[in-house]
Amino acid sequence: MPAFVPYLLHTLFPPTVLRPTEIGADVLIVATGVIIVTVLTRQKKWGWLWREWLTTVDHKRIAVMYLIAAIAMLFRGGVDALMMRTNLALPSVHFISAEEYNEVFTTHGTIMIFFMAMPLIFALFNAVIPLMIGARDVAFPRLNAVSFWLFAFGALLFNISFVVGGSPNAGWTAYPPLTELAFNPGPGENYYFLALFISGIGTTITGINFLVTILRMRAPGMTLMRMPLFAWTTLCTSALILFAFPPLTVALGTSLLDRLFHASFYTLGHGGMPMMYVNLFWLFGHPEVYIVVLPAFGIFSEVVPTFSRKPLFGYTAMVVSVVAIMVLSYGTWVHHFFTMGAGPSVNVFFGLSTMLIAIPTGVKIFNWIFTMWGGRIRLTVPMLYQLAFIPTFVVGGATGVLLATVPVDYQLHNTYFLVAHFHNTLIGGTVFGLLSGLYYWWPKMFGYKLDERQGKWAFWLFFLGFWVTFGPQYLLGLEGMTRRLWTYPLGLGWHALNLISTIGAYGMGAGFVVLVYNVVWSMQHGERDLTGDPWDGRTLEWSLPSPAPEYNFARIPVVTERDAWWAMKARGETTAVRVRPDEISALELPRNSAMPFFLGLGFFVLGFGLTFRWWWIAGLGLAGILGAMLWAGFDYEDRKHVHAEEIRRIEAALGRLEA
Amino acid sequence: MALPHPRVRRAWVRGALLAGILGLALTGCGPHYVLLHPAGPVAQGELHLMVLATIAMAVVIAFVLALLAYVLWHFRDRPGRTAPYRPDWTHSRRLEVLWFVIPAVILTVIAVPMVGQTYALAKLPPKSDPLVVDVTSLDWKWLFQYPQQGVATVNYLVIPTGRPVLFELTANSPMNTFWIPELGGMEYTMSGRVLPLWLEASRPGVYWGHSGQFSGVDFEQMFFTVRAVGPSQFQSWVATVRRTAPAMTEADFRQLLNPGTVGTLTYASYPANTFPAVTHGFTLNGGMYMVMGNQPKDNASQPMGSGAASPSRTSREAMHTMPGMSGR
Ligand code: HEM
Ligand SMILES: [Cu+2]
Ligand SMILES: [Cu+2]
């Protein structure tokens, strides 16, 4: 046996990844991999997978890939959560070790924010935005695929840490000096910084892409103030991404320099300043929480009017408040460390600025309620999530104001009260919003509806499970329980509430199982959407067949007012979306490309090499990246020509061609 | 009703209610709700503000919930519905101004006392003569040094009642927060910085403290106890420690810096240069900490220095060569 083999084995599989849970995961991963490979080979599907999916630049297919990845990550993050809750169910339970607990809470938070919420948001952006604004694709289709593959390979890099080398274990915030090499010698934190770095590049590109798409590619007549609100929130989210991710990139990059090349930006000795990292992180981190919640606001602004059969109440106020939130959210980051001694004037300033942000948020809540006022409310699953969102998110906002009250935060910072606050906003806001959007746009994405009855089961499990889980955590905060504790002694009186909280968590877990069942069942038996407009919708995407053809619009519609499709229907102009054969002309569509996949792969190899400081592997990855970029630079044939005849044939098959 | 399984829903609601009641019954609003049972003026003030803010927010929550319930009840699409369908009513300047103003007013109610309280907490009470305790968080233990008394403890504190205690917080480890919930809010401990925090116990008792910032594998061991005793008892405790406890040697100190846990320890004295004098960070008056010894001391603007001018101070350079500060 060559000498390097034991070294390799010990580096890749140190004792920390040979615990029973990890071995179980290994077996599961290998088994799943074998099954997938076998099925693909048996059915001769490799070529199909490559041509139709892995190299696609079609925003609708990229959306589906984001969606699959996000649901897988929701599963992983959810299992992490259940492991934590199991360990906390009773005092002094040692279901998992402290080391494992620390890894699990770190991967839970990181995955839920960066690899679940973000891709789920991008799934909906991709699935909906071009259709909604009357565009044939996003502004930069190939970059869109680059974004996806950077995200996907970043997520892969992060997830293999569990079985190869060891997971990060310093929380999703990764504060130094705990992440310093001296305190954290394993590869775990390298994984964290590199995976976020790679997927962060993808996220930034997505931000630019949708910013340009919305600003430049709207259908004729769709002025900014005629845009659906989801387009507005996408615009603001993209702008937030563009300005919030650079500080994160700097924080990640400098931390990496500390760890890989012994720089001393944040180290204990040599004049490092850990607090600089904290500032940079939250300069990104607070806008980030709005990056994940603004899309939910947009979704509700589409769902509520549709299911109330009434236009959005106070459209202008809604737009103004989204923009206000976007701007204000850059001015509140210090509220995450009021207790780092910045002095009373700084704290008061940021306390007030944080409270200020609650006002536009309140305006939005009232406007949604008044959209329903005088409407005809249909209690479909998307609407149920909206109705659950209001109380849940209002409580989250209210507890946020408590935390923004500086002296109160001195007591509540880093307790379970804080944990409950941000789950109220993240689950009650982001997750409920995204689930609402998923049920709402599912027929548009896949051509069939998700079963409503099963959907309601999943909903009630999530909603009630949420409150049973997180309601008690507010009280635990008042009992002084701090976050990120892997276990606790009996005498503090924390056990009863923790037990209830754990029961609720399993309720939410059951909700996830029902949700997946709902999707799988509906694939076979779900009601097909033959009209393209199953909800009696208001915006342009509902004027298209479900799912939309590759080119989306055979003829780009002309918009004259808000809720364009609703207006067309009201005027009896539904034939407006039918086209005469002579109106169809040939199209240039973006052409599939393997470059994004290989670029992502290059980044993955680079990241893996850097994680273990194997420079030659890193060099290989870098060469791959440069190669892919050169290839992209000299590949001028990035468009394909589609003949008018073919479009006519497709439209005729869809029954949309005028005789 | 558009919801197909009311039976299931009712069972769930009943289950949730039962769980809630059970939770309250099992835990009560007893003394382990430490934030609701303050034992000193700082925690008391913070609780006051918390109650005020909670009431204000409860008003908002109740209002929104009531409004939502009303709208749902009246405007649900069901047979026999009487409420008018008004698809054209999409805008009302007056209402929009109203729900801009109401939250603003409610937030002002919280904001005004918040500002006052924040500034108040940033100063020691006037004319007080605080006990100074130098706090260092270590992996995974707390070192408490009493510069005025010259004694030191690990993982427990003894403080006099009725007298402000000025904690000077630093770390020789990853960050932690120093928190005694019954006495008042937390503050970070960070290496290279000294942050001030004053707390006071109004009544004798034994309180627990803990860190709120995750600091590694034995973070869960960062609990400590605080014994608040009458002033004379405090003096006799100090005398006893001086008489009976061992002195902390350099070797002892270095031993403490090693990662690991220990129980409680008591020392009659401790070596110099084990607590940094120089650092970034703010004083209780909002000024910057100064380099001790390099600057003429102005007691009025630097209450930190008063009484705390112990021989254990050292220069910035010395701090960076402190054992354990590098090469760990
Ligand atoms: C009315 C609006 C809000 C206010 C006033 C508010 C206020 C705050 C404050 C003051 C903190 C810091 C508390 C502490 O660390 O001691 C905080 C933490 C947090 N908030 Fe909010 N918040 C609001 C809305 C949101 C939203 C919409 C989200 C996400 C969708 C969110 C997610 C979070 C997260 C994730 C943290 C904690 C992060 C961590 O420490 O790991 N908040 N919030
Ligand atoms: Cu979580
Ligand atoms: Cu924030």
Among B220, B285, B317, most A C-beta atoms within 10 A, so best to mutate, is: B220
Q: Any idea what DSSP says for residue A15? A: G
Please state, in angstroms and as integers, the Cα–Cα distance from residue B312 to each residue in B270, B302, B315, following that order. Answer: 9, 18, 10
**Can you give the pLDDT at residue B300?**
32
- Those residues whose C-beta lies under 8 Å from the C-beta of residue B52, and which sit 6 or more positions away, are B109, B110, B113
Per CB-CB distance under 8 Å, the chain B contacts of A170 are 214
**What does the alpha-carbon distance between residue A190 and residue A609 come to, in Å, rounded to a whole number?**
10
Average confidence score pLDDT of chain A: 93
| Sole residue written with tokens 């490092």 | A272
Beta bridge partners of B188: B177
Residue from A236, A293, A421, A423 whose mutation best tests the ligand 1 pocket (most atoms within 8 A of CB)? A421
Closest residue by Cα to residue A155 from A104, A206, A116: A116
Query: Considering only CB atoms, which chain B residues are within 8 Å of A471?
Result: 20
pLDDT (0 to 100) of residue A316: 94
Kind of pairing, strands B184-189 and B176-180?
antiparallel
Q: What is the pLDDT of residue B22?
A: 60
Residues A442-481: pLDDT tens digits? 999 999 999 999 999 999 999 999 999 999 999 999 999 9
- Whether A336 is in the pocket of ligand 1, judged by its Cβ within 6 Å, is yes
The atom number, within ligand 1, closest to the CA of A172 reads 41
Cβ of A505 less than 6 Å from ligand 1 = no
CA-wise closest residue to B154 among B174, B132, B139: B139
Within 8 A of B79 by CB-CB distance, chain A residues are none
Just give the CATH number of B131-274: 2.60.40.420
pLDDT at B202 (0 to 100): 95
Residues 6+ apart with CB under 8 A from A166: A14, A16, A17, A103, A186, A187, A188
Q: Which domain holds residue A413?
A: 45-593+638-653
Which residues from chain A sit within 8 angstroms of residue B139, using beta carbons? 183
ipTM of the complex: 0.92
pLDDT of residue B23: 58
B190 with A274: Cβ contact below 8 A:
yes
The pLDDT, as a whole number, for residue A33 is 86
Query: Which pLDDT does position B303 carry in this prediction?
Result: 33
Is residue A177 within 8 angstroms of chain B, CB to CB?
yes
> Quick check: B212 contacting A, CB < 8 Å?
yes
Report chain A residues whose CB lies below 8 A from the CB of B30.
493
Binding-face residues of B in 235-274 toward A, CB within 8 A: none
Q: Is B80 on the interface with A (CB under 8 A)?
A: no
Q: Which residues contact B4 (CB under 8 A, 6 or more apart)?
A: A453, A456
Report the distance separating Cα A569 and Cα A578, nearest Å: 13
User: Is B175 close to A374, i.e. CB distance below 8 A?
Assistant: no
Ligand 2 centre and the CA of B176: distance in Å?
21
What are the tens digits of pLDDT across the range A351-378?
A: 999 999 999 999 999 999 999 999 999 9
> Residue B130 and residue A280: Cα distance in Å, rounded?
36
Angstrom distance (rounded) from CA A573 to CA A520: 37
Closest ligand to C-alpha of residue A107 is 2
> Quick check: A359 contacting B, CB < 8 Å?
yes
pLDDT for position A578: 79
Longest CA–CA span in chain A (Å) reads 81
Domain boundaries, given as residue ranges, for chain B: 34-74+93-122, 131-274
Work out whether strand B141-146 and strand B131-138 pair parallel, antiparallel, or are unpaired.
Answer: antiparallel
Contacts of A649 (CB under 8 A, 6+ apart): none
Give the residue ranges of chain B where pLDDT is below 70.
Answer: 1-28, 277-328
Query: Can you give the pLDDT at residue B12?
Result: 57
Q: Nearest to residue B146, comparing CAs of B133, B157, B136, B162?
A: B133
**pLDDT, tens digit, 9 for 90 and up, residues A104-140:** 999 999 999 999 999 999 999 999 999 999 999 999 9
Which amino acid, one-letter code, is at B254?
A: R
Question: Residue A418's Cα: distance from chain center in Å?
Answer: 21
Residues in chain B, total: 328
Do residues B150 and B242 touch, judged by C-beta distance below 8 A? Answer: yes
A402 lines ligand 1 (CB under 6 A): no
User: Residue A261 CB: number of other CB atoms within 10 A?
Assistant: 8
What CATH code is carried by the domain that includes residue A645? 1.20.210.10
pLDDT of the residue at B278: 54
Does any domain span residue A230? yes
Does ligand 1 lie within 6 Å of residue A332's CB atom? no
B114/chain A closest Cα distance in angstroms = 6
pLDDT value at position A268?
A: 82
Angle between the N-to-C axes of helices A381-404 and A344-372, in degrees from 0 to 180, rounded to the nearest 10: 160
Q: Is B69 on the interface with A (CB under 8 A)?
A: no
Q: Is A426 in the pocket of ligand 1 (CB under 6 A)?
A: yes
List the single best residue of B9, B21, B50, B284 to mutate versus A (max A Cβ within 10 A). B50
What digits encode the pLDDT tens for the residues A39-70? Answer: 888 988 899 999 999 999 999 999 999 999 99
Q: What is the tally of structural domains in chain A?
A: 1
Ligand nearest to C-alpha A297: 1
Predicted confidence at residue A193, as pLDDT, reads: 96
pLDDT of residue B291: 41
Distance of CA A512 to the CA centre of its chain: 17
Q: How far apart are CA A112 and CA A123, in angstroms?
A: 15
The reply to whether residue A478 touches residue B118, judged by beta carbons under 8 angstroms, is no
Residues of A in contact with B68 (CB under 8 A): 369, 387, 390-391
Write down the residue that tokens 């300005």 correspond to.
Answer: A243
Pairs of residues, one from chain A and one from chain B, whose beta carbons lie less than 8 Å apart: 316
A425, two tokens? 């906003």
Mark yes or no for CB contact B87/A268 under 8 Å. Answer: no
Q: How far is the CA of A70 from the centre of ligand 2 (A)?
A: 15
A648: CA distance to ligand 1 center in Å? 52
Is residue A261 included in any domain, yes or no? Answer: yes
Which of A275, A355, A410 faces B46 most closely, judged by CB atoms? A410
Q: Is B112 touching A (CB cutoff 8 A)?
A: no
- Copy the structure tokens of residue A121: 């948001």
Of the candidates A308, A316, A309, A232, the residue with the CA atom closest to the CA atom of residue B96: A316
